[in-house]
Structure 1
Amino acid sequence: MEDIINHPHDTPTMEDIISHSHDTFTHFRRRGMVPLLTDGPAPFPRHRDDVPDPANVQGDIIYLFPKVAENFIFFRISNVAQFQRDLATFNPTHAKQVYENLEAIHEAKTRKGPWVKIVQKQIAFSRRGLTVLGLTEKTGDNRFDVYAMRDNKKFLGDGMPWDPVFDKPNPDPVNGTANKDLGAIHGVITIAGSDDKMCEDATNETLTHFGGAIESHHVVVLRGRTRPGQFKGHEHFGYQDGISQPAMRKLIAPLPGQIQVDAGVVIAGYKGDPALERRPKWVKDGSFMAFRKLEQLVPEFEGYVVKNGKRWREFVPKVNADPPLSDGEGASLWGARMFGRYRSGAPLALTPVRDNPAMAADPLENNNFDYTVPNYDEPTDIRCPFTAHTRKTAPRNLDPYLSKRFLEAGSIVRAGLPYGPEVTDAENASGTSSEADNLKRGLLFVCYQSDLDSGFVRQTVGYANNDFFPTVSLIPDHHGQDPILGGPPAPVHAAAQTPIPAAQPGDAVTVIVQGKDEQQLEVSGFASPSYAGGQSPPGIPQEFFVNSRGGEYFFVPSISTLKDISNAHRR
C-alpha cells in the first residue's frame, strides 16, 4: 500500500484499498476470501471498534484456513479442571495468524519458492460442553441454547440414519436436549494442515495434549482432504467449491458481484448480529458453527445427469443453442441446472447453455451476476432454475418480495473439505456406490454465522427444503426442493376419496385422504400434472444424491474467552 499512502494529500478510497488488496493477493482471488489490507491511515486502521479484532477471533472464521488436509476431533470432557489446564497451553490459531499465513503462501507462490508448511488449530464447544465448563449463561442464540442438532433431524429434512457419534439418544424435537449430557458431544477441535502428514502429526499431538481430560473411548476423528490433481478445489460431484462466499465489510475485499454483509452476520457482537442486545460479553468475537457430514452418491449422480442430458432439447432455455449440444454437453448442462454452476464454476446465469471455463477462471466475472434477464421485469428461471442449489442457498435480487438486507442476513461463511476416496473402477462400471464404509465419500460441511436460525437453519429449511422458495410473486409458486442438499422424506402417494372435476395444474387444492387407524388427513397444496402412462419431463420426479449422516451445533469462542475458560480452575 506504500504507493497509495505515501501521498499525504491523497486519502485512499475504499475502491483504492480493495483494488490494492486484490493486486496483493492475486493468488487467492479465486477462493473469494481476499483479505482487505487495512493497514493504511484513517479511516481504515487495522482494528476498529465496529469490526472484530482478527487477533481475538479464532482462525477459520474470517479468512478460512488455507489447507490440504483437515481433521475434526469430536470429544467429551472427563476431567474439567484438567481440561482447563490443558486448554491454557493449547494455542488455537487466530485470524491475524491466518492472514500472515496467507501472506507467506502468496509470497512463496509469487517467487515459486518451497511449499509453506502450516498447521492451524481451532476449538469449539456444544451447548452441553460450555455448561460442563461452567458457562451456563444463555448465549442469545435460541436454537443453540435449546437444541442439539439431533433434535432437529426431521426438521432439517434428514431421512437417513446418522453416524453413531452424532445420533444422540432420546432426542426431543419439542423441548430440545442441548443441556442433557447422555450421548452429547462436548466439543470439536479442528486441525488444518498444508499436507496430510502434518495434519495427522498435529492431530496425534493434540490428542496426547488433552489425553488426561477427555474420554478416549468416545473420541471420533473425521478426516477431510482436498481431491488430487486436477480435481483440487472441487467436491466429489466435480463442481468447483467455495466461489460464492459472502464478503464481510471492512475485513474482506469484495470481488465484482460478491454479496457483502456486515461482520455481525457472521461474528457475534457487531452490527448485523440479530441478537446483539442480548449477548453476554463472553460471546462477543465468537461465531456459531454448524457441522454436517454429507454423504454423496457419485456414480448414481453421474448416471442421472447422463440419462437426462440426452434429452437436453426438453429443458434447454429458449436461447441460442447453435450448434446443437452433444450428449456430453447436455449432461453438463443438466448438472449445471441442478447446481447453478458448471463443474468449472461458470455461473449458469451468465452462460445458460454451454460451459465457459475462461469465465469460471476469472474472479472478476464468475460471481458478477444477479439472475436478472433483459426484458424480464420479474424474477425468471429462463436461464437458471429456481431450484438450482446456488440460487436456493445464496439467493440474489428478489426485490420487491424479499429485501437485500434480509438476504444478506441469511448469509453464512462455508468451510470444510471433501472426505473419502475417489470413485473406484468397479463403482464406475456398476453405476452404484459401494456399501463398504472405507469407500464412502462426501463433504464435511462447516459453516459460520452469528445466529443459527438466520444462517444455517434459514438456508436449509427456509430456502433449500422449501418447495415455494425463492419468493418470486405475490402468490406462492411451487418450484421444488434443492436437489443437492439432501432428499426429503419419501413421498406418500394416495388417491383422494372424491374426484375434483374442476382442478387444473397450479390450482390450490385441499383433499381428504385416509390415514392410519381410520384417521382422516387433510392435505393442502398446489396441483401439478401427473405423467402416468407417458414419459415425464427430465428430472421428474427429482432424484437426490446427498444424504446427511449427522452433525452438531457448536460455538467457536474468542481467544479472550478461551483464556477465561482456561483460567477458571485457578479461581
Structure 2
Amino acid sequence: MVFEGIKAWFGVDIEFDKVQAAIVRMRPEPYFGTHALLEIRDARGGREVLRRLAERVTSAADWDKPRAAWTSLAITHPGLVALGVPEASLASFPENFREGMAKRAGALRDGGPNSPSNWEQPFGTGRVHLGLSVYADSESAWHSEVAAYEEKLAEVSGIEVLGRQDFGAQPDSVNAFGYKDGFTQPKVQGSGVSGFPGDGREIKAGEFIFGYPSETGRPVFMPAPDELGRNGTFLVFRKYHSHVAAFNRFIHANARTEGERELLAAKIVGRWRSGAPLALAPEKDNPAIGQDPRRNNDFTYADDPQGLKTPLSSHVRRMNPRDTKLKVLSDVNIRRVIRRSTTYGTHLDKDALIDDRQPRGLDYLAIGVRAIDTLEFLQSEWINSGNFMGVGQEKDPMIGLQGKDGTFTVPGVPPRYLRGIETFNTLLGGEYFFMPSIPAIRWLGDLKN
C-alpha cells in the first residue's frame, strides 16, 4: 500500500484518511472556489449538518491522486459552544482561540482602519460558527461541489448562511496587485509531498497536525479529548481589501519610466510580477525563472546581507527571512504555516491611478497547530515593526498598517528613503478556526445523541 511505503520511508505514520486534505494538499492553480460562513442557531441542527457534511469533507488519503474539487470545514470557538461541546473540552483550547480574533486586536495590532469596529459583517460578532471552503481546478467542478454541500445544508433547519465569497485566479494565478503568488510552502515530514528546491528542510508533521512529534521532539498540547484534537489543526482566516490604485500611485510618484516603476514595485514586494525573485533577477524581470517551480524559490540571502538586491523591508523577505541574520533571534521553523490563501475580485491594471471602488483583495488562510500564535507574532514583530531586521519602525510595505508618514528604504549608495507609503491592504475581518479531523467532525455530530 502507498501509505505503508510512506511510513517506511519517512518514519512518520500520518493518518491520511482522517486528516483534511487542505492541510497537506496544494491548492489547484488556476483555481476556482467559495468560502462560506455559517451560524448554528440550533445545536441539534448543527450536529446534524456536521454528520451530513462529514462525507463531503475531503481527506488527504488520496493526496497523490488528482481530484477536481475538495471541501474543507472549520469551526470557531463560538461554534463549538453552539454545538454543545462539554466545558472541559472547551477549556482545553488555547486562550487566544477562545477569545477570538476580534478580542485579540491589541496583540495583532489591528487598530485604525483595521480595527474590528470597521470590519465587515459578520466578522467579529460571535455569529460565525462554521467555515466551509471549496477549492476546484475548473468552473464546472467548483459549481458541482458547492451545489453538493448546499444540498446538505438545505436538508437541515437551524443553520443560517451568513455570507459567501467566491474567489479564483485565472489563467495566471496572480494576486490583486498582478503578482504571481503562493510560493514557499513548508515541506511536511511524512506527507509524501516532496515540494520544490528552496522550500527548506522538512518540518515535523506535529507543527501542522495535532498528535505527531513537533520541532521540539514532542507533540504540541492538543485539545481534549483525543477524539476531538488528534489529526486536527488551527486555521487563521483574514480577509483584506487591496488598494491597488494607491499602490500604483505610490509607484508612479517615485519612479519615472516603466522600467523604473517595475523595479521599484519589485523592491517593495521582493519579486517581479512573473514571480522571479530579486535574489535571482536583481536588475530586470526573468519570466522563465518565475514560471519554473524548481528555480523560482531556490535562493538564499547569504550574498545580500545589506539588502542591495532584495531590501530587508521587502514583503517576501520579512515573511520568510530564510538565512538573513536577524537582529532579534527567532526559530523560523516554528513560525512556518501552510498557506491556502485565495484572491478575490476584479483585476485593476498596473497603470490605473483611480480607485474604481470594486471589491478585490486577498483571503489569507494559514494552517498549523501554532498558526494563531504565529500570526500574532508575525503581526506584532515582523509585519508592524522592523526591529527584527534592524530597520527601525519600518513596516511591511504590503500588509503593514502604515502611519501618517510611512517609509520604505531601498538600500544603495546612497540609499533611497521613500516617504508617504500607504496601507495597501486593509483588513475587512477575520476569525480563528479549529480544523477538526474527519472522525472529529463525526464525533461533534454525535454529541448528546
The answer for the alignment partner of 1:267 in structure 2 is: 209
Which string of whole-angstrom CA distances, capped at 9 and with x for unpartnered residues, describes residues 492-537 of structure 1?
9xxxxxxxxxxxxxxxxxxxxxxxxxxxxxxxxxxx99xxxxxx94
Deviation of 1:39 after TM superposition, in Å, equals 5.9
Task: State how far apart, in whole Å, the 2-side matches of 1:551 and 1:270 are.
Answer: 28
Task: State how far apart, in whole Å, the 2-side matches of 1:184 and 1:309 are.
Answer: 46
The answer for the alignment partner of 1:363 in structure 2 is: 293
**Counterparts of residues 531-570 of structure 1 (less than 5 Å):** 537=416, 539-570=418-449
Q: 1:97 and 2:62 equivalent? A: yes
Q: 1:331 and 2:261 equivalent? A: yes
Q: 1:459 and 2:378 equivalent? A: yes
Which amino acid in 2 is paired with 1:394? N
Which amino acid in 1 is paired with 2:59? H
Task: State how far apart, in whole Å, the 2-side matches of 1:468 and 1:273 are.
Answer: 26
Secondary structure of 2:180's aligned partner = coil
Deviation of 1:290 after TM superposition, in Å, equals 0.7
Which amino acid in 2 is paired with 1:421? T
When the two structures are superposed, what TM-score results if normalisation uses the length of structure 2? 0.86
Deviation of 1:213 after TM superposition, in Å, equals 3.7
Which string of whole-angstrom CA distances, capped at 9 and with x for unpartnered residues, describes residues 253-304 of structure 1?
1422212321122222222277724542121211111111111112222232
Which string of whole-angstrom CA distances, capped at 9 and with x for unpartnered residues, describes residues 453-490 of structure 1?
442222222211122122xxxxx541611011142354
Which amino acid in 2 is paired with 1:71? T
Structure with the bigger RCO (C-alpha within 8 Å, sep 6+) is 2
Deviation of 1:569 after TM superposition, in Å, equals 4.2
Q: Is the 8 A contact 2:45 2:158 kept in 1?
A: no
Q: Is the 8 A contact 2:222 2:230 kept in 1?
A: no
Which amino acid in 1 is paired with 2:220? L
Q: Is the 8 A contact 1:386 1:479 kept in 2?
A: no
Task: State how far apart, in whole Å, the 1-side matches of 2:35 and 2:325 are.
Answer: 40
Q: 1:129 and 2:79 equivalent? A: yes
Deviation of 1:367 after TM superposition, in Å, equals 1.5
1:294 alignment partner, one of 237, 240, 248: 240
Q: Is the 8 A contact 1:256 1:364 kept in 2?
A: yes
Task: State how far apart, in whole Å, the 2-side matches of 1:400 and 1:467 are.
Answer: 10
The answer for the alignment partner of 1:499 in structure 2 is: none
2:249 alignment partner, one of 275, 289, 303: 303
Task: State how far apart, in whole Å, the 2-side matches of 1:542 and 1:387 are.
Answer: 13
2:119 alignment partner, one of 151, 159, 162: 162
Q: 1:220 and 2:163 equivalent? A: yes
Q: Is the 8 A contact 1:224 1:418 kept in 2?
A: yes
When the two structures are superposed, what TM-score results if normalisation uses the length of structure 1? 0.68
**Counterparts of residues 355-434 of structure 1 (less than 5 Å):** 355-373=285-303, 379-399=305-325, 406-423=331-348, 431-434=353-356
**Counterparts of residues 176-187 of structure 1 (less than 5 Å):** 183-187=126-130
The answer for the alignment partner of 2:397 in structure 1 is: 483
Which amino acid in 1 is paired with 2:354? T
Residues 75 and 560 of structure 1, relative CA distance in 2, 3 Å threshold: same
Which amino acid in 2 is paired with 1:162? W
Residues 556 and 66 of structure 1, relative CA distance in 2, 3 Å threshold: same
**How many pairs align?**
425
1:349 alignment partner, one of 271, 279, 288: 279
1:60 alignment partner, one of 3, 19, 22: 22
Which amino acid in 2 is paired with 1:346? A
Q: 1:469 and 2:388 equivalent? A: yes
The answer for the alignment partner of 1:149 in structure 2 is: 101
Task: State how far apart, in whole Å, the 2-side matches of 1:456 and 1:292 are.
Answer: 10
Deviation of 1:42 after TM superposition, in Å, equals 6.8
Q: Which moved more, 1:84-93 or 1:287-296?
A: 84-93
Which amino acid in 2 is paired with 1:85? E
Which amino acid in 2 is paired with 1:144? F
Deviation of 1:208 after TM superposition, in Å, equals 3.6
Task: State how far apart, in whole Å, the 2-side matches of 1:561 and 1:187 are.
Answer: 14
Query: Based on CA coordinates, which of the two structures has the bigger radius of gyration?
Result: 1
Task: State how far apart, in whole Å, the 2-side matches of 1:164 and 1:400 are.
Answer: 39
The answer for the alignment partner of 2:41 in structure 1 is: 78
Which amino acid in 2 is paired with 1:433? D
Secondary structure of 1:190's aligned partner = strand
Residues 163 and 486 of structure 1, relative CA distance in 2, 3 Å threshold: farther
Q: Is the 8 A contact 2:385 2:392 kept in 1?
A: no
Sequence identity percentage: 23
Task: State how far apart, in whole Å, the 2-side matches of 1:566 and 1:42 are.
Answer: 31
Task: State how far apart, in whole Å, the 2-side matches of 1:361 and 1:491 are.
Answer: 36
Q: Is the 8 A contact 1:273 1:450 kept in 2?
A: no
Q: Which runs of 5+ in 2 are unaligned?
A: 410-414
Which amino acid in 1 is paired with 2:65? E
Q: Is the 8 A contact 2:42 2:82 kept in 1?
A: no
Instruction: Tell me the C-alpha RMSD between the 2 structures.
Output: 2.9
Q: 1:188 and 2:110 equivalent? A: no
1:447 alignment partner, one of 366, 369, 373: 366
Which amino acid in 2 is paired with 1:456? L
Q: Is the 8 A contact 1:157 1:486 kept in 2?
A: no
Which amino acid in 2 is paired with 1:164? Q
Q: Is the 8 A contact 2:184 2:198 kept in 1?
A: no
User: Which of the two has greater strand per residue?
Assistant: 2
